[in-house]
Amino acid sequence: MKKTVLLLPGDGIGPEIVDEAEKVLEWLHRYCGVELVLERGLIGGAAYDATGTPLPDETLTLARRADAILLGAVGGPKWEPLDYAVRPERGLLGIRKQLDLYCNLRPAKVFPQLVDASTLKPDIVSGIDIMVVRELTADIYFGEPRGVTVLADGRQRGVNTLTYTSDEIERVARSAFEVARRRRRQVCSVDKANVLEATELWRNVVTQIQQQHYPDIQLSHMYVDNAAMQLIRAPKQFDVILTTNMFGDILSDEASMLTGSIGMLPSASLGQHHALYEPIHGSAPDIAGRGLANPLATILSVAMMFRYSLDRPDIADRIERAVNRVLDQGLRTADIAQAGLHKIGTVAMGDAVVAELE
Ligand code: NAD
C-alpha cells in the first residue's frame, strides 16, 4: 500500500541530514517494494522567512494527511531576535500540539563500535539499551495559569502550573507498556510522588493500568532525583523509563549522553493518528552548510518510522544493520571520529549507509 512521508528539513543542518535520509527512503522505494510518496514542507526559520510564520497552515495540512513525518531540526541565531510567538521552535511545539503527539520515544542505545565515545567508563555503558517514554503534550509546559505578574509591593512573581489529568497519564502509560512488550518487559515509572500531588496521581494511574491490562510487565517506580543518579551509576538496570514531560525532557538528554554522541540518536513522537520522527539534536548552526553533520540520527529516525508507523519492522532492522556495518568499516563523521578511523562528511555517510542497505 502506498505511504506518504512528509519531509520537513527545517533549518541549519536540517536540510543536509534530511537529504541523506531521503536517499535511504528513495532506495527502499526503488528496491524494497515499499511504495512511498515523498512530500516536502516548510517549518521553523525557513518557514518564517518564506511565509512569516514558523508553522504555515499548508504544512499542517500536509502533516495531517501524511502517514509519517520526518523532521530535520529548527532554529538558529538568525531568528533569535524574533518575538517568541514566531520563533522557529514554536513551529515544532505547534506541530506536536496540533497533531496531539503525546508520546515521545527516545531510545538510548550504545553501538558497540562507539563505546569509547562516551564520557563514562566502557564497562558502565557497553550494552546500554534504554527506551525513554516521555509524555509530550501536558505538564508544566502547557499548564495554566502561567506567566509573570507584578505584585502590589512591586515584586515580580513567576508562575507555571504542573497539571495532569488521568486520561493524559493513562494513554502514555499504555504506550510505554506496549513498547515494553516488544522489549524486555520492564517499565520503570519516574515521578516525584513524595512531594508533588500531580505526580502521585501519575503513580496511581500507571499502577492501575499495569494491574488491569499489563500484568505481564514488571513495573517499578522511582523518584526523579534517584533516577538521575541511577542513570549514571548503573544505566543497564533500565529497559523502558516512563516519565512526565519535564522529567523526560531532562532525563532523556542525560540518557542520550551515555551513548557518546547526540548525532546518533533518533526519536519518535506518536499520537493516536499521527507520528513525527526526528533526530534528538538541534540545527547545529556552528557546523551548518559545511557537510560535517552526522546524518545517522536522522537515518535511524527513518528506521523508527518503519517500526512504529509503516508496519515494516523488517526494514527498520535492515536500516539499523546497515548503520552498524558502516560503523564496523570504521567510517565516522567528525562528531564520532576516533584516531585511526576514516573521517567522512555528511553526504559520504549517507552514501555509505545506502551502499550497505544492499
Ligand atoms: P544542537 O543540538 O544544535 O548542537 C549542540 C552541539 O552538537 C553542537 O556543537 C553541534 O555542532 C553538535 N551537533 C548536533 N547535531 C549534530 C550532528 N548531527 N552531527 C554533528 N554534530 C552535531 O544544540 P544547540 O546548539 O543548543 O541549539 C542550536 C539550535 O537548535 C537552537 O536554535 C535551538 O533552539 C535549536 N534546537 C532545535 C531542536 C529541534 O529542532 N528538535 C532541538 C534542540 C535545539
- Choices 3.30.70, 3.40.190, 3.30.1120, 3.40.50: CATH for 133-254: 3.40.50
The pLDDT assigned to 247 comes to 98
CA-proximal residue: ligand 1, atom 13 (nearest): 284
Distance 284 CA to ligand 1 centre (A): 4
Task: Quote the pLDDT of residue 1.
Answer: 79
Compute the distance between CA of residue 26 and CA of residue 32 in angstroms, rounded to an integer: 10
Instruction: State what percent of residues in the chain have pLDDT above 90.
Output: 88
Q: How far is CA 86 from the centre of its chain?
A: 23
Q: Residue 276's pLDDT is what?
A: 98
Element spanning 159, H or E: strand 156-161
pLDDT for 130-170, tens place per residue? 999 999 999 998 899 999 999 999 999 999 999 999 999 99
Instruction: Output the nine-digit C-alpha cell for 309.
Output: 508507523
Note whether 60 and 97 are within 8 A (CB).
no
pTM for this model (two decimals): 0.92
Minimum-distance ligand 1 atom for the alpha carbon of 294: 19
Q: Is 273 helix (H, G, I), strand (E, B) or coil?
A: coil
Q: Is 253 a catalytic site residue? A: yes
Integer CA distances (angstroms), 341 to 321, 326, 330, in order:
20, 12, 5
Q: By three-state DSSP, how is residue 190 classified? A: strand
Q: H/E element holding 299?
A: helix 296-308
- Sketch the domain layout of the chain as residue ranges: 1-102+271-358, 133-254
Q: What is the DSSP letter of 69?
A: E
Q: What is the pLDDT of residues 85-121, one digit of tens each?
A: 899 999 998 999 999 999 999 999 999 998 888 889 9
Quote the pLDDT of residue 262: 84
Q: Provide mean pLDDT across the span 310-339.
A: 93
Q: How confident is the model at residue 259 (pLDDT cuts 50, 70, 90)?
A: confident
Mean pLDDT of 238-259: 93
Rounded to the nearest angstrom, the distance between the alpha carbon of 21 and the centre of ligand 1 is 18
Q: Are strands 186-191 and 3-10 parallel, antiparallel or unpaired?
A: unpaired
CATH, domain 1-102+271-358, list 3.20.20.70, 3.40.47.10, 3.40.718.10, 3.10.580.10:
3.40.718.10
DSSP letter (8 states) at residue 155: -
Q: Under a CB-based contact definition with an 8 Å cutoff, are residues 145 and 161 in contact?
A: yes
pLDDT at 253 over 90: no
Nearest CA to ligand 1 atom 44: 282
Q: Average pLDDT in the 51-76 region?
A: 98
What pLDDT shows up at residue 338?
77
The whole-angstrom separation of Cα 232 and Cα 9 is 33
User: What number of other Cβ atoms are within 10 A of residue 311's Cβ?
Assistant: 12
Q: Which residues line ligand 1 (CB under 6 A)?
A: 13, 73-76, 89, 92, 262-263, 278, 281-287, 293-294, 297, 335
Report CA(282)–ligand 1 centroid distance (Å): 3
